[in-house]
């Protein structure tokens, strides 16, 4: 399927800031499952844009804005072609555990097996593992399907019950959260079984006109687990889906920490507010994506640098 | 001077006496001078030396205390002497070791051959908190990761030198080495003059040459700066000292900024481009965008400028993986793997504790061994078995069981001793040696280093923060 | 030079100047009050001193002891000598490599020596005068060491700039407060009946001897004000301080070749010519308070201008050049 994605990010500051430095992970990936045919990025205020590929293969743009500004707008437009997903078998033979362990031994999966910032073992996670009874007694694919289904059945999708930097325990204890929380929790569970697992940030296109999904789930997060003979397979625990041709990957990493769409630092002692608007359209059919364009507000991932020199000027 | 200054057992090598009762030939003149000097005269010279340090403000800061944090690093008057032959071995051994470790760093941040060949376990590298994933595939200027190194050596009972620790991040102490020499020349001018000691005063010049070699652009004179965490850092004195010696600007993170991937410093005459940064700031704090977002000491965007080759950093980011104390055990294999040579300097036997049989042995023998946390330095996070209480041993037992990867154990070493003037008496104390290695267009090592002294009787801890002192080190 | 270093030098010098000024004023005040007995007079003078030094009021019934403690020893009081010395040392510590070892060692020793003295030491032993002298001489020796060990580079100029802008600002304010009080006297403008107060004012500026050399010991109030405000040769006069500020700013402009300094230059040039061309009769007629307040305001703007041009200038403007 072909998609056109429009993504607007706006930072508004309660007062002027200077010397903003920012990194973006917003350009959809090109890999065996999808092809990003074009990507454009516009900034206001304008700045020179630089690019590099990070250690996970994500394309990162970065820039700095030295002058005073009280608003920063980032607009991206992408065209992506997503392939038909591979047909997954219902299950894998039990022997695939052995095969998996052998492949891990040989390959470089360390990043996606070791604990990371969000996805690490905690007591609530251990309790959850027991509740799920997720052990290597079943074949890996069946087990992953079970874990993937667990969230929709047992967790409530509830925006604003967690923060962007909440540890997984918050969502586990209150049994609610958003896609980011479910992905981080699932990663920790799957790695606990010694299956390599990674975080994917991206977009989800909603096929129907069902208004139960609001705009913010157009930006989405899910996981990919590595399985013998199948490679990286995407699971979407929020929607209990095997990732198909409606999931558009933007960046992969160990967990959310590695792939925030924006990460920035500026000088100024201000409150900052982030609004995001996303529109995903099927390019061929001109079918309008289910949710209308409207901004959502949530806490942004920015850090304030206090202007030290100006502070010093307050000596008197 | 007679050898009756301490209760040294026969296993310990003494710098002045070796294992005999007579001073070694190269120590004779020092021994005679000190024996022939009236005691009051000796004390007076010691006081003059102390005063000179105080007045120069040569101080360090002790962590974990709020008041009165500035202290003088105690200086011992009696020099430590190393013969030319001994030094040649040390020099060759260090060059070999540093070359191999630099290969290792390049390898693990690129192809990872040594890991795939099974010489060093993947896990050891990937679980190290100093391993920087962000450095994967990044090419550093001239392929040099470790431009400034301080390697801790000890002399063991057979009189040979062994490596105790590699310091590949931001080794400190070189200013004390230089200051000790200045004071020594004033206190014992003739004795020093007669000995034909190799000079060390060119260290600043050599460091500058090393840094200049890293400059990304050769078409103009590079602007080199020393980046300090600031006045509250324990080694701040050294930062100012080195900046002055090299005639370069001493900057803090807030003096620098990145615009369009280029680093600038803010001066009264406007912005000035920066080409090479000798940074005395840990990886974690260097760039809040790339690493710890709460760092107020770093420069946002610095890592991106570095990645794109617009600025050089010494040392490179991510070198801490190679001085991890668990990795230390593999250094002989690392030397063999990259250079196909036998190590010239020995390693100390090291038990890695994630191995079950090692751990069992260590836990049963905590009272005889030294246990170190792998990521700590400066003598913090250490258990010295023979000097520890049962409670301390029990605490370390728990710590080890909790996170075995985080600890290593080594036999308690018979560190060599040297005569020191302590509380008006000449007596023996344990010493080590930290030579300083510079790696630019070539590897150079100033002849000598910092001899650190464990001032407490019988103590093996030489760190300045833990009651250590220092001596001038003479290489003949 | 790094902007941060300029900032530290500037403040190092300002704080040290302030400590010296405070020591001088306190020393004199304690001395003068030996001869005044009424509580009311004493309190009035104390309040004038506090106000003149930008210090916060003290609780009612505070004694001379309390005032001395607050203005000299209380580390938490922003106007105290100890606070100023700590700040001066802290600023110096941050830029130790920029000043000479002699300067650092002296300032460090001064700080350690002075701050270990307690109010009770000096009060019981009646050694307040020696204490204040130590502070004054210590500060002066620092400037002497600077003069004899520093190149006349940018560092030097920022030290001078800090010293003289501090002096001009504090002296304008101090003069304003003191003269306003003296002018309330029924005897004004005759000096004779308030003789000690006028002498005290001169002495607060170490100006008594210098004044006598110019005008003889015949004290006249308008001449005293003229001398402290407009004299071109006396180093504690406001005009002298502003001349020095301008010289340093011109030197810095030349050394840095900064092109954004035109406005700053105009501000200080205007202040200097105001002082140069004013006649004391006109100033008094138009109101001394207005004139002195005008100087303080202009100094504040010049201070801000220094920051805008050399220290915390906007990056985008610097890049554009």
Residue B183 has pLDDT above 90, yes or no: no
pLDDT at A99: 93
Residue B215 has pLDDT above 70, yes or no: yes
Q: How far apart are CA A277 and CA B246, in angstroms?
A: 53
Tokens of C196: 């000690």
- Give the end of a domain, one of A212, A236, A257: A257
A153 interfacial to chain C (CB closer than 8 Å)? no
Taking only residues 81 to 110 of chain C, the set having a beta carbon closer than 8 angstroms to any beta carbon of chain A reads 87
Q: Do C7 and A309 touch (CB under 8 A)?
A: yes
pTM: 0.86
Residues B139 and B273 in one domain: yes
**A·C CB contacts under 8 A:** 30
Q: Tell me if B209 is assigned to some domain.
A: yes
Q: Tell me if B463 is assigned to some domain.
A: no
> Would you give the end-to-end CA distance of chain B in angstroms?
21
pLDDT at B61: 55
Residues B276 and B214 in one domain: yes
Q: Do C1 and B254 touch (CB under 8 A)?
A: no
pLDDT band at A313 (very low <50, low <70, confident <90, very high): very low
pLDDT at A190: 94
- Give the end of a domain, one of A240, A257, A274: A257
pLDDT at A208: 52
| Percent of all residues in chain B with a pLDDT value above 90, rounded to a whole number | 43
What is the DSSP track for B21-74? SS--GGGHHHHHHHHHS-HHHHHHHHHHHHHHHHHHT-EEE-TT-SSS-EEE--
Q: Do A265 and B300 touch (CB under 8 A)?
A: yes
Query: Which residues of C fall within a CB distance of 8 Å from A313?
Result: 7, 307, 311-312
Q: Which domain holds residue B388?
A: 350-411
Could you read off the pLDDT of B357-402 as tens digits, one per residue? 888 888 888 888 888 887 666 566 788 888 888 888 888 888 888 8
C9 interfacial to chain B (CB closer than 8 Å)? no
pLDDT at A177: 87
pLDDT band at C230 (very low <50, low <70, confident <90, very high): very high
Label the pairing between strands A2-24 and A34-44.
unpaired
pLDDT at A298: 40
pLDDT band at A297 (very low <50, low <70, confident <90, very high): very low
Residues A191 and A270 in one domain: no
Average pLDDT of every residue of chain C:
91
pLDDT band at C35 (very low <50, low <70, confident <90, very high): confident
Residues A145 and A77 in one domain: no
pLDDT at C58: 85
Q: B353 near B405, Cβ under 8 Å?
A: yes
Q: Tell me if B256 is assigned to some domain.
A: yes
Residues A295 and A209 in one domain: no
Burial letters for C219-233: b for 16+ Cβ neighbours within 10 Å, e otherwise? bebeebbbbbbbbee
Tokens of B332: 């002989």
Q: Do B268 and C310 touch (CB under 8 A)?
A: yes
Q: Alpha carbon of B183 to those of B46, B76, B186, C93: distances in Å?
A: 10, 11, 5, 23
Residue B89 has pLDDT above 80, yes or no: yes
Question: Who's near A33: CB < 8 A, 6+ residues apart?
Answer: A82, A83, A85, A249
Taking only residues 192 to 231 of chain B, the set having a beta carbon closer than 8 angstroms to any beta carbon of chain C reads 230-231
Residues A250 and A274 in one domain: no
Identify the residue with better confidence: A271 or B436.
B436
The CATH number of the domain where B371 resides is what?
A: 3.30.1490.270
Residues B335 and B360 in one domain: no
Q: Do B243 and C94 touch (CB under 8 A)?
A: no
Residue B316 has pLDDT above 90, yes or no: yes
Among A260-274, B461-475, C158-172, the minimum mean pLDDT is found in B461-475
Residues A302 and A205 in one domain: no
Could you read off the pLDDT of A169-198 as tens digits, one per residue? 888 888 888 888 999 999 999 999 999 999
Residue A311 has pLDDT above 60, yes or no: no
Region B434-459: mean pLDDT is: 91
**Residue indicated by tokens 């009972």:** B157
pLDDT at B71: 65
**A·B CB contacts under 8 A:** 58
Residues B221 and B370 in one domain: no
Tell which residue, C60, C48, C49, C56, has the closest CA to residue C181.
Answer: C48
Residues B335 and B375 in one domain: no
Q: Distance (Å) from the C-alpha of residue C283 to the closest C-alpha of chain B? A: 37
Residues B233 and B107 in one domain: yes
B83-86 long-range contacts, CB within 8 A, separation 24+: B83/B26, B83/B476, B84/B475, B84/B476, B86/B161
Residue B458 has pLDDT above 80, yes or no: no
Q: Do C87 and A66 touch (CB under 8 A)?
A: no
Neighboring chains of A (3 or more beta-carbon pairs < 8 A) = B, C
Nearest to C154 among B249, B254, B268 (CB): B268
Q: Do C3 and B243 touch (CB under 8 A)?
A: no
pLDDT band at C321 (very low <50, low <70, confident <90, very high): low
Nearest to B259 among A66, A264, A303 (CB): A66
At B335 the three-state DSSP class reads helix
Identify the residue with better confidence: C117 or B47.
C117
pLDDT band at C133 (very low <50, low <70, confident <90, very high): very high
pLDDT at B405: 79
pLDDT at A217: 52
pLDDT at B332: 92
Query: Which residues of C fall within a CB distance of 8 Å from A45?
Result: none
- Give the end of a domain, one of B339, B372, B394: B339
Region B89-95: mean pLDDT is: 95
Nearest to A305 among B122, B137, B296 (CB): B296
Residues A44 and A182 in one domain: no
Q: How many domains does chain A have?
A: 2
* Cross-strand pairs, B452: B432, B470
What is the DSSP track for A140-201? HHHHHHHHHHHHHHHSEE-TTSS-TT--HHHHHHHTEE-HHHHHHHHHHHHHHTT--EEEEE
pLDDT at A305: 46
Q: Is the peptide bond before B392 cis (omega within 30 degrees of 0)?
A: no
Residues A264 and A251 in one domain: no
pLDDT band at A299 (very low <50, low <70, confident <90, very high): very low
Query: Which residues of C fall within a CB distance of 8 Å from A19?
Result: 315
Residues A200 and A223 in one domain: yes
pLDDT at C38: 82
Residue in C16, C315, C317, C318 to test binding to A, most A beta-carbons within 10 Å: C315
| Percent of all residues in chain A with a pLDDT value above 70, rounded to a whole number | 86
Residues B325 and B360 in one domain: no
Q: Do A263 and B300 touch (CB under 8 A)?
A: no
Residues B126 and B228 in one domain: yes
Label the pairing between strands B75-82 and B70-72.
unpaired
- Give the end of a domain, one of B411, B439, B462: B411
Q: Which domain holds residue A150?
A: 96-257
Query: Which residues of B fall within a CB distance of 8 Å from C96?
Result: 57, 240
pLDDT at B209: 94
pLDDT at A294: 43
pLDDT at B69: 46
Closest chain C residue by Cα to residue B243? C97
pLDDT at A211: 45
Q: Do C3 and B259 touch (CB under 8 A)?
A: no
Helical spans, DSSP H, in chain C? 3-33, 39-52, 64-68, 81-94, 101-115, 119-124, 128-149, 154-183, 195-204, 208-215, 221-230, 238-256, 262-277, 280-286, 288-306, 315-320
The CATH number of the domain where A131 resides is what?
A: 3.10.620.30
Nearest 10 degrees: Cα torsion C157, C158, C164, C165: 140
Residue in B115, B259, B262 to test binding to A, most A beta-carbons within 10 Å: B259
Residue C8 has pLDDT above 90, yes or no: yes
Residues A109 and A155 in one domain: yes
C300 interfacial to chain A (CB closer than 8 Å)? no
Q: C224 near C198, Cβ under 8 Å?
A: yes
Q: Tell me if A91 is assigned to some domain.
A: no
The CATH number of the domain where A17 resides is what?
A: 2.60.40.2250
Q: How far apart are CA C88 and CA C75, in angstroms?
A: 13
The listed range with the strongest mean pLDDT (A200-209, B400-409, C11-20, C32-41) is C11-20
Region A229-237: mean pLDDT is: 92
Nearest to C314 among A68, A312, A316 (CB): A68
Could you read off the pLDDT of B392-437 as tens digits, one per residue? 888 888 888 888 878 888 888 778 999 888 877 888 899 999 999 9
Closest chain C residue by Cα to residue A20? C315
The CATH number of the domain where B276 resides is what?
A: 3.40.50.11290
Interface of B with A (CB under 8 A): 112, 122-123, 126-127, 133-134, 136-137, 254, 257-261, 266, 288-289, 293-294, 296, 300-301, 304, 307-308
* Cross-strand pairs, A5: A78, A280
C93 interfacial to chain B (CB closer than 8 Å)? yes
pLDDT at B59: 63
Q: Tell me if B241 is assigned to some domain.
A: yes
Q: Do A18 and C319 touch (CB under 8 A)?
A: no
Q: Tell me if A87 is assigned to some domain.
A: no
Q: Is the peptide bond before A292 cis (omega within 30 degrees of 0)?
A: no
Tell which residue, C19, C174, C2, C178, has the closest CA to residue C89.
Answer: C19
Q: How many domains does chain B have?
A: 2
Residues A243 and A264 in one domain: no
Q: Tell me if B1 is assigned to some domain.
A: no
- Give the end of a domain, one of B387, B411, B435: B411
Residue C13 has pLDDT above 90, yes or no: yes
Closest chain B residue by Cα to residue C4? B255
Q: Do A50 and B300 touch (CB under 8 A)?
A: no
- Give the end of a domain, one of A237, A257, A277: A257
Residues A238 and A309 in one domain: no
């Amino acid at each position: 399927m072909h998609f056109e994605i429009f993504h607007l990010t706006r930072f508004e500051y309660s007062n002027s800031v200077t010397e903003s430095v920012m990194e973006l992970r917003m350009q959809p990936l090109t890999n065996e499952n999808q092809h990003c045919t074009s990507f454009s990025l516009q900034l206001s205020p304008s700045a020179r844009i630089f690019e590099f590929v990070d250690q996970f293969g994500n394309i990162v743009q970065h820039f700095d804005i030295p002058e005073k500004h009280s608003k920063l707008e980032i607009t991206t437009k992408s065209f992506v072609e997503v392939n038909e997903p591979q047909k997954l078998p219902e299950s894998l033979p039990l022997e695939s555990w052995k095969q998996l362990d052998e492949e891990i031994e040989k390959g470089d999966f360390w990043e996606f097996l070791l604990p990371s910032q969000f996805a690490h073992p905690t007591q609530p996670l251990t309790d959850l593992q027991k509740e799920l009874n997720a052990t290597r007694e079943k074949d890996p694919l069946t087990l992953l399907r079970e874990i993937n289904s667990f969230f929709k059945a047992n967790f409530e999708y509830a925006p604003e019950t967690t923060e962007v930097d909440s540890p997984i325990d918050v969502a586990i204890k209150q049994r609610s959260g958003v896609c980011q929380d479910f992905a981080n929790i699932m990663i920790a569970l799957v790695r606990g079984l010694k299956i390599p697992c990674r975080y994917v940030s991206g977009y989800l296109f909603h096929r129907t006109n069902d208004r139960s999904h609001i705009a913010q789930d157009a930006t989405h997060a899910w996981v990919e687990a590595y399985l013998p003979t199948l490679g990286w397979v995407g699971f979407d625990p929020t929607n209990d889906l095997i990732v198909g041709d409606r999931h558009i990957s933007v960046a992969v990493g160990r967990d959310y920490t590695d792939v925030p769409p924006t990460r920035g630092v500026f000088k100024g002692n201000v409150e900052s507010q982030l609004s995001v608007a996303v529109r995903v359209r099927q390019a061929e059919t001109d079918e309008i994506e289910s949710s209308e364009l409207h901004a959502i507000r949530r806490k942004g991932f920015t850090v304030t640098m206090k202007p030290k020199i100006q502070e010093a000027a307050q000596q008197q | 001077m007679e050898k009756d200054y301490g209760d040294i057992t026969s296993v310990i090598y003494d710098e002045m006496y070796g294992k005999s009762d007579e001073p070694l030939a190269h120590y004779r003149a020092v021994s005679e001078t000190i024996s022939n000097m009236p005691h009051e005269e000796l004390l007076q010279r010691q006081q003059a030396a102390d005063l000179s340090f105080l007045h120069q403000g040569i101080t360090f800061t002790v962590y974990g205390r709020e008041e009165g944090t500035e202290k003088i690093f105690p200086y011992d008057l009696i020099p430590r002497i190393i013969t030319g032959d001994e030094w040649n071995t040390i020099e060759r051994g260090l060059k070999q070791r540093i070359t191999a470790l630099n290969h290792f760093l390049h390898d693990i941040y690129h192809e990872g051959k040594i890991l795939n060949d099974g010489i060093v376990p993947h896990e050891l590298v990937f679980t190290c908190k100093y391993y920087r994933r962000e450095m994967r595939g990044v090419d550093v200027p001239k392929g040099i990761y470790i431009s400034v190194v301080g390697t801790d050596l000890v002399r063991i009972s057979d009189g040979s030198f062994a490596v105790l620790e590699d310091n590949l991040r931001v080794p400190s102490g070189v200013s004390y080495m230089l200051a000790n020499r200045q004071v020594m020349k004033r206190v014992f001018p003739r004795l020093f003059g007669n000995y034909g000691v190799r000079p060390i005063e060119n260290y600043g010049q050599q460091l500058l040459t090393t840094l200049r070699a890293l400059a990304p652009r050769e078409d103009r004179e590079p602007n080199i700066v020393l980046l300090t965490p600031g006045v509250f850092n324990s080694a701040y004195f050294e930062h100012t000292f080195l900046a002055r010696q090299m005639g370069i600007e001493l900057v803090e993170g807030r003096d620098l900024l990145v615009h369009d991937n280029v680093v600038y410093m803010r001066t009264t005459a406007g912005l000035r481009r920066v080409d090479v940064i000798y940074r005395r700031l840990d990886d974690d704090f260097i760039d809040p965008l790339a690493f710890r977002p709460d760092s107020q000491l770093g420069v946002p965007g610095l890592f991106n400028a570095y990645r794109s080759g617009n600025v050089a950093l010494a040392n490179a980011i991510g070198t801490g993986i190679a001085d991890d104390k668990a990795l230390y055990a593999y250094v002989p294999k690392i030397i063999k793997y990259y250079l196909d040579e036998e190590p010239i300097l020995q390693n100390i036997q090291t038990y890695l504790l994630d191995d079950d049989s090692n751990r069992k042995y260590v836990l049963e023998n905590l009272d005889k061994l030294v246990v170190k946390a792998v990521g700590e330095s400066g003598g913090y996070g250490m258990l010295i078995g023979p000097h520890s209480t049962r409670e301390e041993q029990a605490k370390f037992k728990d710590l080890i069981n909790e996170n075995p990867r985080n600890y290593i154990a080594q036999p308690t070493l018979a560190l060599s001793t040297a005569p020191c003037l302590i509380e008006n008496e000449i007596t023996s104390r344990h010493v080590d040696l930290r030579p300083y290695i510079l790696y630019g267009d070539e590897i150079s090592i100033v002849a000598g280093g910092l001899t650190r002294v464990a001032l407490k009787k019988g103590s093996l801890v030489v760190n300045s923060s833990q009651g250590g002192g220092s001596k001038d080190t003479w290489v003949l | 030079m790094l902007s941060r270093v300029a900032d530290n030098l500037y403040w190092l010098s300002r704080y040290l100047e302030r400590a010296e000024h405070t020591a001088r004023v306190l020393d004199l005040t304690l001395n003068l009050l030996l001869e005044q007995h009424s509580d009311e007079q004493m309190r009035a003078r104390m309040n004038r001193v506090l106000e003149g030094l930008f210090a916060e009021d003290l609780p009612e019934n505070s004694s001379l002891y309390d005032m001395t403690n607050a203005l000299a020893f209380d580390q938490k009081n922003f106007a105290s000598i100890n606070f100023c010395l700590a700040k001066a040392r802290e600023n110096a510590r941050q830029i130790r490599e920029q000043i000479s070892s002699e300067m650092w060692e002296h300032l460090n020793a001064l700080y350690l020596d002075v701050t270990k003295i307690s109010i009770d030491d000096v009060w019981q032993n009646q050694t307040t005068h020696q204490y204040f002298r130590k502070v004054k001489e210590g500060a002066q020796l620092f400037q002497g060491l600077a003069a004899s060990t520093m190149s006349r580079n940018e560092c030097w100029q920022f030290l001078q700039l800090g010293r003289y802008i501090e002096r001009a600002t504090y002296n304008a304010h101090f003069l304003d407060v003191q003269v306003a009080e003296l002018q309330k006297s029924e005897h004004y403008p005759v000096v004779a009946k308030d003789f000690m107060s006028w002498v005290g004012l001169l002495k607060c500026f170490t100006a008594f001897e210098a004044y006598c050399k110019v005008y003889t010991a015949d004290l006249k109030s308008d001449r005293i004000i003229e001398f402290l405000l407009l004299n071109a040769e006396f180093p504690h006069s406001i005009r002298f301080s502003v001349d020095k500020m301008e010289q340093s700013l011109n030197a810095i402009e030349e050394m840095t070749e900064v092109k954004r300094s035109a406005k700053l230059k105009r501000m200080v040039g205007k202040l200097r010519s105001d002082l140069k061309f004013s006649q004391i009769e006109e100033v008094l007629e138009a109101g001394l308070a207005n004139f002195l307040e005008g100087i303080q305001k202009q100094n504040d703007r010049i201070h801000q201008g220094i920051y805008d041009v050399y220290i915390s200038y906007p990056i985008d403007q610097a890049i554009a050049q």
